[in-house]
Amino acid sequence: MKRTLLFLSILLGLFTLSIVSCDVIEDPIKDNGNNADCTKTRTDTINPQTTFPDTVYRNVLVEDFTGHRCKNCPKATKAIKDMKDVMGDDLVVLAIHSGASTFTAPNPPDYPTDFTTTEGDEIASWFGGVPAQPIGMVNRDDYSQGSISHFKIYSQWNSIATPYLSEAAIAELWSMSYVSGTCVIAHAQTTFLEDVTGDYSIAVYLTEDGIVAPQLLPDDTRDADYVHNNVFRDAFTFALGESLITGGATRMTNVHRSYQLEINPDWNPNNLKVVTVLFDTDSREVLQVTECDVE
């Protein structure tokens, strides 16, 4: 890790957050169109990280478009594991089961699990549709409308990702998440570390680790006990994100947002994670990303 995150306490009750910055407090809780019974049942005042190292570096998001009936997709998963072993928490992964139905659709009894999501399909469509599998995007690098140049094969991911880790970030992301009743609550703060111009958006996603389900392997055999990690489950925001800053922001501007969504009974709450993505609204390039466990 290139930095040491300083996590400050969560203060219960009413508390005034005072930092030398411009704070933008928005939407204490969004119900995201979910079940009305999914309501916040405890009150927290968030006192997030406000002190940073001299330089905060960029993290990397890999969006792996995969499928349980795609026999070469485990090779991409292995490439991600190798990257994760080196990059640690600086690498964040979304395993999105979207693409050709012959690779992604359930096919019982051998492949009964449905990993597909409407939100995952929306992301894939937004970037022109998945041209082949396994394939992915690294920080949504090299996006150009009408092109597929932003889709990279897994053997390219490491070489594209590595240089980002030594680049200074324009913003730091802080996040925390917990289960409350039948809801997952997620809090996210974006702190701009320099003056910026332009428009910036945020997307907040939910993933799950440790899902045991069949997977087709490169030798055409079927592993009935394959462990699927980083599986894209849902989006707290719109799948394509939502506006965070329009026209720019000054250094140390903070934007705090909180979200909730209903827990699907098929999910294991102990294995859920929240992924928060800051991106340039126009270019769609990911400028910072972070991940936290759902407590």
For 253-284, what is each residue's pLDDT tens digit?
Answer: 999 999 999 999 999 999 999 999 999 999 99
* Cβ partners under 8 Å of residue 274, min gap 6: 175, 177, 184, 186, 188, 204, 205, 206, 207, 236, 291, 292, 293, 294
Query: How large a percentage of the chain has pLDDT more than 70?
Result: 82
Residue 191 sits at φ, ψ, to 5 deg, of -120, 115
Whether the CA torsion 122, 74, 224, 275 is positive or negative: it is negative
Report the C-alpha gap between 167 and 162 in whole angstroms: 10
Residue 7, in any domain of the structure? no
Q: Is residue 4 part of a domain?
A: no
Amino acid present at 113 = T
Find, among 103, 101, 83, the residue nearest to 93 by Cα.
83
pLDDT at res. 38: 60
pLDDT tens digit sequence for 159-180: 999 999 999 999 999 999 999 9
The pLDDT value given to residue 167: 98
Residue 122's closest CA among 201, 232, 213, 230? 232
Q: Residue 225: inside a domain, yes or no?
A: yes
Task: Return the SS3 of 180.
Answer: strand
Residue 9 domain-assigned?
A: no
- 195: number of Cβ within 10 Å: 12
Q: How far out from the chain centre does Cα 26 lie? A: 20
The string of DSSP codes covering 242-264 is EEEESS-B-TT-EEEEEEEEEPP
Residue 31 lies inside a defined structural domain of this protein: yes
The Cβ of residue 58 has, within 10 Å, a number of other Cβ atoms equal to: 22
Burial (0-12, 13-18, 19+ Cβ within 10 Å), 282: exposed
**Does residue 196 contact residue 170 with C-beta atoms inside 8 Å?**
yes
Question: 101: domain CATH number?
Answer: 2.60.40.10
Residue 51, domain member (yes or no): no
> How many distinct structural domains can be found in the chain?
1
Tokens 């090779």, residue located: 75
**Each residue's pLDDT tens digit in the chain (295 positions)?**
443 333 333 333 333 333 333 344 444 343 444 444 564 333 344 455 566 667 899 999 999 999 999 999 999 999 999 999 999 999 999 999 999 999 999 999 999 999 999 999 999 999 999 999 999 999 999 998 888 999 999 999 999 999 999 999 999 999 999 999 999 999 999 999 999 999 999 999 999 999 999 999 999 999 999 999 999 999 999 999 999 999 999 999 999 999 999 999 999 999 999 999 999 999 999 999 999 999 9
What size, in residues, is the chain? 295
Q: Is residue 233 part of a domain?
A: yes
pLDDT of residue 209: 99
pLDDT, tens only, 223-233 = 999 999 999 99
What range does the domain containing 250 cover?
20-44+58-293
Find out whether 265 and 284 touch, Cβ atoms under 8 Å.
Answer: no
Evaluate whether residue 281 is within a structural domain. Answer: yes
Compute the distance between CA of residue 295 and CA of residue 289 in angstroms, rounded to an integer: 19
